[in-house]
Amino acid sequence: MIRAWTGAQVREAERPLLEAGDGPALMARAAHGLAVSVLRALRSRRGRVSGARLVVLAGSGNNGGDALYAAAAVARRGVRTTAVLTSARCHPEALATFTAAGGRALQLREENAAELASLCAGADVLVDGILGTGAAGALRGPAAGLVRAIADAGAPLVVACDLPSGTSADTGELFEPVLRADLTITFGGAKAGLLAGPAAGAAGTVETIDIGLGPQLPQPALRRLEPSDFRRLWPVPERDSHKYTRGVLGIVAGSEQYPGAALLCTQAAAAAGIGMVRYLGPRDVCRLVNASTPEAVCSSSDSVAESRVQAWLVGPGTGTDKEQARRVLDALASGLPVVADASALDELPGELGPQVVLTPHAGELVRILARQDVEVTREQVEASPSEFAALAAGLTGATVLLKGAATVIASPSGTLFSQDNATPWMATAGSGDTLAGILGALAATVDPADLDAAGIDPPDHAAGIAAMAAAVHGLAGTAASAGGPITASDISRAVPRTVRGLLQESVPGR
């Protein structure tokens, strides 16, 4: 499991070490890790290091110092290295070490910005060390103009030092102009903002350098599940398992107006390995569901109270069907785990618990927050998804899965997960229904003891399950796409082999 912290948390963890005089040692570890990564990138790009061209954009703080020390180490390996100083102030010891290693330093001014942008564009690797986690907001003055000019000229391979300048270490917001990175080398602990929000798309591949902060770091601000986590979390049947012990999911989805949602939810739930699906809906939709998923037990007359299930999935495609709306409300009041999607998001009662998982996209979250007297725009939600998902979870009492390029899951306790496993080809009609089906299946089957063993506390169990569903949904869609168009049904068909791939290293014969 990847753990990430806010910039403030990392700086607080550094504070006692800095007060003890360990600042130079921390900087040396960070610079060494950055230098190794830059050298690796140069070898990958050119096949060799000697004769390469490196340009460093060095700001006034310790971030610029890390970049200059790293550039000095790279210069000693035969790399032609130039530092563009974006501030009149810089880390003096780092600059002295850099020039002693043969590096050339140039001061950025308004009048030479275009020339220096051309220099940067011609480098093999460009290191962004302008702003660090202590900065707030956007680049200003000549530095902002330089970054814009570099983007216009065509940036080379960009390596960000700790985080791309102009990104929020906490929320993942972008404050343009941002020099988007191919690789971000972050220090001490992964930054939460690099795993959520638009910054996740601006950071490229994120690598964390251990500089010795482990004992000082608090509980992480955000977590992300990795493939290895599924080997202990995914529900695997035992020798004596049967369909009821493997979980029963109740689904209230679809209507005469929107029958397809019911089919997609049911297909996805069955593909995820649920023991049984009980579908409640209109008679004609029941026929379609049984034709598509004959394993499903369908009823047009049963009530929620008459259906013995471990969890409910409600809302996709129910539209204005009054009987389906009654069933949605009954499921939400059942006290069982509930996945509430689509139309159900407009039928929420006043009190919810963390076992209820809301699955909005940004526009739907705007409506949820409006009912809590919070006025926000879709653009604001998309700019800072972790902030508004957490706000919605706190106000509603429910777990919130906010769909997006990086899916953010917020527990009412304040715990955050973020999963970024999907391909843009999954932005297609019905994809959210398949996610809801996978999530519903997991809500009915995941063993709480396995979540506890993974370090996910009981108040956050639903958030952990939602993170599992988001990851498998994204991985299945990516596998189905293989770089090209897919449908929502393609995602469901890819779920079984995706799960097999996650389990095969630890479950013999699978």
Residue ranges of the annotated binding site for K(+) are 63, 128, 165
Binding residues for (6S)-NADPHX: 62-66, 132-138, 162, 261, 317, 361, 433
Residues 341 and 338: their CA atoms lie apart, in Å, by 10
CB atoms within 10 A of CB 322: 9
Per DSSP, the three-state class of 150 is helix
As given in the structure block, the two tokens for residue 183 are 């690789």
Give the strands of the sheet with 297-299, arranged side by side. 190-191, 2-5, 222-224, 416-419, 407-410, 399-402, 356-358, 338-340, 311-314, 248-252, 276-280, 297-299
Binding residues: 62-66, 128, 132-138, 162, 165, 261, 317, 361, 403-407, 432-433
Contacts of 228 (CB under 8 A, 6+ apart): none
Residues 194 and 161: their CA atoms lie apart, in Å, by 12
**107 strand-pairing partners:** 85
Binding residues for AMP: 403-407, 432
Distance of CA 241 to the CA centre of its chain: 34
Helix crossing, 113-121 with 141-153: angle to 10°? 40
Residues 279 and 437: their CA atoms lie apart, in Å, by 12
Residues 392 and 405: their CA atoms lie apart, in Å, by 19
Cβ atoms of 137 and 81 closer than 8 Å:
no
DSSP 283-302: HHHHHHHHHH-TTSEEESS-
Residues 323 and 339: their CA atoms lie apart, in Å, by 18
For residue 62, which amino acid is it? Answer: N
Helices and strands (H and E) in the chain: how many: 18, 19
Cβ atoms of 107 and 146 closer than 8 Å:
no
Looking up tokens 């949904």 gives: 473
Contacts of 24 (CB under 8 A, 6+ apart): none
Per DSSP, the three-state class of 385 is helix
Cα distances from 184 to residues 32, 171, 195, 442, in angstroms, run 15, 16, 11, 33
**58 strand-pairing partners:** 85, 129
**416 strand-pairing partners:** 410
Closest to 432 in 3D by CA, of 501, 380, 358, 347: 358
